[in-house]
Amino acid sequence: MLRQALLAASHSSGVRRVVETAPYSRSVVRRFVAGEAAADVLATTDRLISDGLLVTIDHLGEDTVEAVQAKAITTEYERLLERLAEAGYGPRAEVSVKLTALGQLLDDGERTALENARRVCAAARQANTTVTLDMEDHTRVDSTLRILKELRQDFPETGAVIQAYLRRAEEYCADLAYEGSRVRLCKGAYNAPDSVAFTGKDAVDKSYVRCMRVLMAGRGYPMLATHDPRLIEIAGALAILNERSPDGFEYQMLYGIRPNEQRRLTELGGQVRVYVPYGREWYGYLMRRLAERPANVGFFLRSLASRS
């Protein structure tokens, strides 16, 4: 129930105003978001890379409804990638892109998002790095996979994301587990009807394990996005079973969540990529993070209530 309430709140303008104007709210958000400007996320990226971690950067913003805004976000990614290239971070730092931020919801959204994504992918190649297409609401899955297929004709290194809570997740993973295919597997952080998605934690976890088995046994490059200790242990066992070397797959975790575990896996020789968001549109992202991990709710509320 708490998860559903938080996901509903992510679309509430009233709750958004309360959270965004609450005392110390922004200082709390900095636990999960690198900052509002590119300089902030570049500084965070430098620190993480120095610690032996990999990075994927997300410029926050989604559900764009104006072409000019989609173009501005595309340009922001191009400039960010130029700065990553100047710093020599590629390929240790890549970018994650939401297609709704690039215009997927416009009247001619699929074409617009594809054109803008091509620009981002071209900039990434110039920077010696890659792009991963974030998966969003279940209603966008088919469109996102069509755009991915088109992009991979010219940019085969483009990463995909599959959400384990979707009932067709295992099928999607099987379709994408081919040579050179980069696939991030996550649990999923959006509302969806029972006909489309598993809703219970156990069912989602079981789906995640089934998808991991497919990806780890396949010929692609699995990117396992989870903070769950049990799933991380299973991932390690599957790597041994399928004779995958440490550079044949990677773990992915969110910035600000389980940093000690990120370092531990790195020290054991694993590849760990940290998902680092930045930008002013942090509200929706924050609410989904709280929905994913109820323990974060207490932290956030205690921080908002503090006075110093």
Sign, Cα dihedral of 34, 37, 40, 43: positive
Q: Is 184 a catalytic residue?
A: yes
Q: Which residues contact 241 (CB under 8 A, 6 or more apart)?
A: 216
> Quick check: 180 and 155 in contact, CB under 8 A?
no
The pLDDT value given to residue 281: 78
pLDDT, tens digit (0-9, with 9 covering 90-100), for 124-175:
999 999 999 999 999 999 999 999 999 999 999 999 999 999 999 999 999 9
Distance of CA 29 to CAs 49, 80, 190, 292, 297, Å?
Answer: 22, 21, 20, 16, 12
Burial (CB count <10 Å: 0-12, 13-18, 19+), residue 194:
exposed
Indicate yes or no: pTM above 0.75: yes
Of 134, 140, 152, 273, the active-site residue reads 134
- Per the annotation, the verdict on 244 as an active-site residue is no
Cβ neighbours of residue 21 closer than 8 Å, sequence gap 6 or more: none
Could you tell me the CA-to-CA distances from 13 to 1, 18, 221 in Å, in that order? Answer: 20, 9, 39
Scored b (16 or more CB within 10 A) or e, 233-265 reads: ebbbebbeeeebeeeebbbbbbbbbbeeebeeb
pLDDT tens for each residue of 166-221: 999 999 999 999 999 999 999 997 888 999 999 899 999 999 999 999 999 999 99
Which residue in 140, 184, 273, 289 is the catalytic one? 184
- The predicted structure's pLDDT at residue 286: 74
Write out pLDDT tens, residues 44-74: 999 999 999 999 999 998 889 999 999 999 9
Asked if 302 and 203 count as a contact pair (C-beta separation under 8 A), the reply is no
In the chain, the amino acid numbered 113 is A
